[in-house]
Amino acid sequence: MPYHFGVCTTKQARVKYGAPHIPHMRGRHWLLGLIAAVAVLTLVSGIQQSFAHPITINSSPKAFEGVRSPPKEVKVFFSEPIELGYSKISVLGPNGTRVDNNDPHNVERDTASIGVTLKPDLPDGDYTVSTTVLSAVDGHVISGTLVFGIGSPPKQNVTGNTQQDILSPENSAARFPGMVGQVMVVGAAFGTLWLWKPLARVPWLSSALSQTRTAIDKNMMRLVIIGVGLVLASGVAMIVVQAISIGSGIPEAIATKFGNVWVTRMLQSSILMGIVLAVYRKAAKNNASPGRAEMYAILILGFAVLVTSSLITHAAATSQIVSIMLDFFHNAAASIWIGGLILLGFAAVPKILAIGDE
């Protein structure tokens, strides 16, 4: 039997054998991806180092330095801006008495510094500089000490150049619920918008989801309400703890840079709570799932709350928009992942398993 040879085109081969389509632009796509990766690495490499809170990076006189004559001023420089009105600096002499003029100020208008002038004709001996500063970035209070000598370096047994973060357990306890709450909101909203469609393609899940979707969404909205409630409760606790940390009232705490971000966060969270409650009541009344537009509104406001978190973290210390954006994207990705797991574990899986048992 004679053999017949013919030409089989690429399109015919794909139709006949089901071969996958390989774009002829694959090489260009790889090139674009490489360029994007290099651009991201370039941006990341340009970010300045961010310290945890306002760390002392320099001083005049320096720690353990011996100066020949009494300085007119003591200057301390930090890794990030401080709130001068809620920061303190004092200098104690050899006999333990205060030898500064109690005139704290920024050195040459540098907001990441604090200085104080000294009384004239100070005797030789060891001098201790004590600072307590409020970060203008994350609202943390940091205390530190350093020692210098007049006439000769300070004695070796003198303790100095130490720094302590006065971040109390109460401060951590106040912030943590807000972090959990914003994760719940963003993860639940994102999962509701983009999780169910791919899951519905799984044969054994499709029928279960169609039967339980309304009940799952009702549980989802309850999770979102709890999440926003945690953010609001955390906000109240944060400003109270902040006021205690700086030794002032709540109005004074709100007047700080941290307080300004806090006000924005609370306004966003309050609006979010109003929208969530309205959507929940509407869905419960109609026994239906929330609309996509409503879920988009919840997700966008959830992302807005995440932005305020990035504005009071160490990423904001560099004052570079790139570092703040990277911190936001990190928080957003973590919220989508962890919040999505919370959505599955507490809203979806129990309802799906209940269908299976029935």
State the CATH number of the domain containing residue 128. 2.60.40.1220
236, part of any domain: yes
Residue type (1 letter), 119:
K
83 and 174 in a single domain? The answer is no
- For residues 230 and 333, what is the distance between their CA atoms, to the nearest angstrom? 20
31 and 141 in a single domain? The answer is no
State the pLDDT at residue 314.
65
190 and 296 in a single domain? The answer is yes
2, part of any domain: no
Q: Model pTM?
A: 0.74
- For residues 234 and 86, what is the distance between their CA atoms, to the nearest angstrom? 23
* Domain boundary, last residue among 141, 165, 189: 165
State how many domains the chain has. Answer: 3
292 and 329 in a single domain? The answer is yes
5, part of any domain: no
227 and 102 in a single domain? The answer is no
131, part of any domain: yes
State the pLDDT at residue 334.
95
- Per the structure block, which two tokens stand in for 136? 């203008």
Mode of pairing for the β-strands spanning 110-117 and 105-107: antiparallel
Chunked into runs of 10 residues, the chain (358 residues) has average pLDDT values of 45 43 45 44 40 80 94 96 95 96 97 97 96 89 93 74 64 93 98 84 73 89 98 97 91 92 97 98 93 96 95 68 88 96 91 68
188 and 119 in a single domain? The answer is no
Task: Report the residue count for the chain.
Answer: 358
309 and 197 in a single domain? The answer is yes
123 and 252 in a single domain? The answer is no
User: According to DSSP H, which parts of the chain are helical?
Assistant: 10-17, 26-45, 169-194, 196-199, 203-246, 250-254, 257-286, 292-310, 321-343, 349-357
Max CA separation in the chain (angstroms):
118
State the pLDDT at residue 262.
95
180 and 321 in a single domain? The answer is yes
51, part of any domain: no
Q: Are 277 and 298 in contact (CB under 8 A)?
A: no
50, part of any domain: no
78 and 179 in a single domain? The answer is no
- For residues 239 and 350, what is the distance between their CA atoms, to the nearest angstrom? 37
* Domain boundary, last residue among 139, 165, 191: 165
Residue type (1 letter), 206:
S
State the pLDDT at residue 22.
39
142 and 174 in a single domain? The answer is no
116, part of any domain: yes
Count Cα neighbours of 186 within 13 Å in the Cβ-side half-sphere: 26
Nearest-CA neighbor of 79 among 57, 59, 61?
57
48, part of any domain: no
* Domain boundary, last residue among 165, 182, 215: 165
State the pLDDT at residue 15.
42
Nearest-CA neighbor of 280 among 325, 331, 353, 214?
214
Phi-psi map region of 259: left, alpha, beta (phi>0 left; psi -120 to 50 alpha): alpha
70 and 31 in a single domain? The answer is no
Domain that holds residue 328: 169-357
